[in-house]
């Protein structure tokens, strides 16, 4: 029985979180994903590891593939007995040529389903603070292509009816034809003072909104390039009251996250919630140690220890992964007391249904020793510390000075990541980056090595550096980087709070 099926899926207007639940399911189950220019590439991260990605984007006048070729490609892949997800920006049936693709599938007897998406005409003005209908202004709303050729003899748009017969008008991709659009609307009775909004990259952190009237908007948007949507109507006046998205505290800020790829998303999501544009630039990767034997030996004699001390979530994950690989489980940890540095580490331990017996108030090694003194004698007790290969020696040294018996072993390695986004150097030089964040000393050292010290020293005047804690700050300043933003609480939420406070202080100074 054949399993071929094509999903024509609307990916939404730009913010990847605006895709439908069913749309996301179609990405996850696809063998082949054929996607457009306006599809947010973050959506592809949820696809199967062996899924085939085919980009067929159309940008301006440059077409990666003509529509007939795209149609043939969809048919070809479906004929290979594959599940194909055709991912289109917005909604596939609203100026997305999804109807044309569906007809080709019908003609070739290929089963298909259509998954609607949130279209730009609704989502983009919403993110710009503009409701497309409002009973005090209008009860009618029209969606119109902005692609019409102004040189053709006759327009397929009835300008005499839409100009005054519909309250709110949304023109898709009409930047190049904006002079023609505004001319036709005014020529056919729409007041030259009608409010107009042009919104570029709507619903994303790159969103830019320009407000004018039919008589002024062309001049005001001379520097605006596609993709953009144009909203015409009295509802545009509501933007002053309803502009929620562009009013977020970090909107307009570009922030670089240097954490490992596995851990960057959590931090990036928090920053995005406050409106920041985030560039993930992992400078470290987590790898297995050169030899696993010391960790195995410790796990096999785990009952000889009194304390299990975790200094990071990576140490927690590495330890438990190996514990389970050796055929053991949490019952083998019976009787051990557990110490954790920081709430994220504690949360990682709790995932394995273990109680943390000691968590210092400050998330540095110095505080661990002081807290352990309060809950145990230390002298004569045995401590197991599964840590990184580059961990500081302070903690095991101090415990040994107090008479503790310490096994300090490498549970994981921190290595330099191979950067995928080397145009970051250009962005830094061009002033396109506002803040670079560091969450460990290794992120600092690797960032400096990847970018180049000679490049960074020239950027201190217009790029701010943010640090999660004092050890990271010390490393950065030893390397010539001035840390302008310092977290009071040495956690990711603490670092986010410090960035927010810095942004608020900057806004106050500007006003």
Q: What letter would DSSP give residue 455?
A: H
Q: Are residues 404 and 428 in the same domain?
A: no
Report residue 58's pLDDT band, with 50, 70 and 90 as the boundaries: confident
The percent of residues above 90 in pLDDT, for the chain, comes to 73
Q: Are residues 298 and 392 in the same domain?
A: yes
**What mean pLDDT value characterizes the chain?**
91
pLDDT above 60: residue 64: yes
User: Which residue among 31, 36, 91, 434 is the active-site one?
Assistant: 36
Q: Among 364, 389, 415, give the residue marking a domain's end.
A: 415
Total domains in the fold of the chain: 4
Q: What is the pLDDT of residue 459?
A: 66
Q: Give yes or no for a contact between 32 and 54, defined as CB atoms under 8 angstroms apart.
A: yes
Give Cβ neighbours of residue 155 (< 8 Å, ≥ 6 apart): 148, 184
pTM confidence score:
0.81
Q: Is 191 inside any structural domain?
A: yes
Q: Are residues 348 and 202 in the same domain?
A: no
Q: Are residues 185 and 235 in the same domain?
A: yes
Report residue 486's pLDDT band, with 50, 70 and 90 as the boundaries: very high
Give the pLDDT mean for 266-295.
Answer: 92
DSSP string across 50-110: T-EEEE--EETTEESS-HHHHHHHHHHHHHTT-EEEEEESB-TTSSS-HHHHHHHHHHTT-
Instruction: Write the CATH number for 152.
Output: 3.30.950.10
Q: Are residues 158 and 233 in the same domain?
A: yes
DSSP-derived pairing of the beta strands 5-10 and 32-35 = unpaired
User: Which residue among 29, 58, 208, 220 is the active-site one?
Assistant: 58
Structure tokens at 440: 């460990």
58 is catalytic: yes
Q: Are residues 372 and 477 in the same domain?
A: no
Enclosing domain of residue 397: 287-415
pLDDT above 60: residue 150: no
Q: Is 447 inside any structural domain?
A: yes
Instruction: Write the CATH number for 272.
Output: 3.40.50.10090
Average the pLDDT over each of 53-62, 99-108, 371-380, 430-439 and give the range with the smallest value: 53-62
192 is catalytic: no
Main-chain phi, psi angles of 421, to 5 degrees = -130, 60
Q: Is 267 inside any structural domain?
A: yes
Q: Give yes or no for a contact between 19 and 117, defined as CB atoms under 8 angstroms apart.
A: yes
pLDDT above 80: residue 387: yes
Q: What is the pLDDT of residue 151?
A: 57
Q: Is 248 inside any structural domain?
A: no
Q: What is the pLDDT of residue 318?
A: 94
Give the pLDDT mean for 147-164.
Answer: 79
408 is catalytic: no
User: Which residue among 15, 77, 88, 173 is the active-site one?
Assistant: 173
The distance in angstroms from the start CA to the end CA of the chain is 68
Q: Are residues 291 and 407 in the same domain?
A: yes
Q: Is 302 inside any structural domain?
A: yes
Q: Is 281 exposed, middle or buried (0-12, 13-18, 19+ CB in 10 A)?
A: buried
Q: What is the pLDDT of residue 422?
A: 63
Give the pLDDT mean for 311-325.
Answer: 94
| DSSP bridge partners of 464 | 435
Report residue 1's pLDDT band, with 50, 70 and 90 as the boundaries: low
Q: What is the pLDDT of residue 149?
A: 54
Q: Are residues 391 and 423 in the same domain?
A: no
Q: Are residues 344 and 388 in the same domain?
A: yes
Q: Are residues 176 and 195 in the same domain?
A: yes
Q: Is 247 inside any structural domain?
A: no
Q: Among 415, 446, 475, give the residue marking a domain's end.
A: 415
Q: Are residues 275 and 423 in the same domain?
A: yes
Structure tokens at 454: 């000679």
Q: What is the pLDDT of residue 264?
A: 82
Instruction: Write the CATH number for 39.
Output: 3.40.1010.10
pLDDT above 80: residue 144: yes
Q: Is 300 inside any structural domain?
A: yes
Give the pLDDT mean for 270-281.
Answer: 92
pLDDT above 90: residue 158: yes
Q: Are residues 229 and 311 in the same domain?
A: no
* Structure confidence by residue, pLDDT tens digits, 388-427: 888 888 899 999 999 999 999 999 998 888 766 667 888 8
Give the pLDDT mean for 283-311.
Answer: 94
Q: Among 91, 117, 143, give the residue marking a domain's end.
A: 117
Report residue 263's pLDDT band, with 50, 70 and 90 as the boundaries: confident
Q: Is 469 inside any structural domain?
A: yes
The percent of residues above 70 in pLDDT, for the chain, comes to 95
Spatial distance between the Cα atoms of 46 and 34, rounded to a whole number of angstroms = 14
* Structure confidence by residue, pLDDT tens digits, 103-136: 999 999 999 999 999 999 999 999 999 999 999 9
């Amino acid at each position: 029985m054949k399993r071929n099926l094509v999903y024509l899926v609307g990916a939404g207007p730009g913010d990847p979180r605006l895709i439908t639940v069913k749309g996301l399911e179609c990405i996850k189950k696809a063998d082949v994903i054929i996607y457009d220019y306006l599809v947010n590439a973050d959506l592809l991260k949820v696809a199967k590891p062996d899924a085939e990605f085919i980009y067929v984007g159309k940008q301006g006048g440059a077409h990666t593939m003509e529509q007939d070729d795209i149609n043939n490609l969809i048919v070809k892949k479906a004929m290979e007995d594959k599940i194909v997800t055709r991912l289109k920006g917005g909604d596939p049936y609203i100026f997305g040529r999804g109807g044309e693709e569906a007809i080709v599938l019908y003609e070739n007897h290929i089963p298909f389903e259509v998954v609607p998406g949130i279209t730009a005409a609704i989502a983009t003005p919403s993110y710009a603070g503009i409701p497309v209908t409002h009973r005090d202004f209008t009860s009618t709303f029209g969606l119109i292509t902005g692609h019409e050729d102004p040189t053709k003899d006759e327009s397929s748009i009835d300008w005499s009816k839409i100009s005054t017969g519909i309250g709110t008008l949304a023109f898709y991709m009409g930047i190049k034809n904006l002079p023609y659009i505004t001319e036709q609307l005014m020529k056919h009775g729409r007041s030259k003072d009608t409010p107009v909004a042009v919104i570029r990259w709507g619903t994303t952190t790159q969103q830019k909104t320009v407000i004018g009237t039919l008589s002024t908007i062309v001049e005001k948007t001379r520097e605006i390039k596609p993709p953009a949507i144009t909203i015409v109507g009295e509802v545009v006046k509501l933007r002053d009251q309803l502009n929620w998205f562009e009013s977020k505290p970090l909107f307009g800020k570009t922030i670089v996250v240097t954490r490992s790829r596995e851990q960057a998303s959590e931090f990036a999501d928090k920053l995005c919630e406050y409106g920041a544009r985030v560039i993930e630039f992992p400078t470290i990767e987590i790898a297995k140690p050169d030899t696993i034997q010391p960790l195995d030996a410790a796990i096999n004699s785990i009952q000889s220890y009194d304390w299990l001390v975790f200094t990071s979530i990576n140490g927690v994950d590495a330890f438990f992964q190996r514990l389970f690989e050796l055929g053991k489980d949490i019952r083998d940890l019976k009787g051990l007391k557990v110490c954790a540095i920081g709430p994220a580490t504690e949360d990682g331990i709790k995932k394995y249904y273990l109680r943390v017996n000691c968590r210092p108030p400050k998330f540095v090694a110095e505080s661990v020793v002081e807290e352990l003194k309060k809950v145990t004698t230390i002298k004569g007790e045995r401590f197991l510390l599964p840590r990184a290969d580059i961990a500081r020696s302070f903690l095991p040294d101090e415990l040994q000075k107090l008479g503790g018996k310490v096994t300090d072993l490498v549970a994981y390695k921190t290595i330099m990541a191979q950067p995928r986004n080397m145009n970051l150097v250009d962005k830094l030089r061009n002033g396109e980056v506002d803040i670079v964040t560091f969450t460990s000393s290794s992120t600092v050292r690797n960032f400096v090595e990847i970018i180049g010290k000679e490049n960074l020293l020239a950027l201190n005047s217009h790029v701010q550096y943010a640090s999660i804690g004092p050890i990271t700050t010390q490393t950065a300043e030893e390397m010539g980087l001035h840390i302008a933003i310092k977290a009071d609480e040495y956690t990711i939420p603490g670092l986010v709070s410090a960035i927010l406070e810095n942004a608020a202080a900057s806004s106050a100074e500007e006003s």
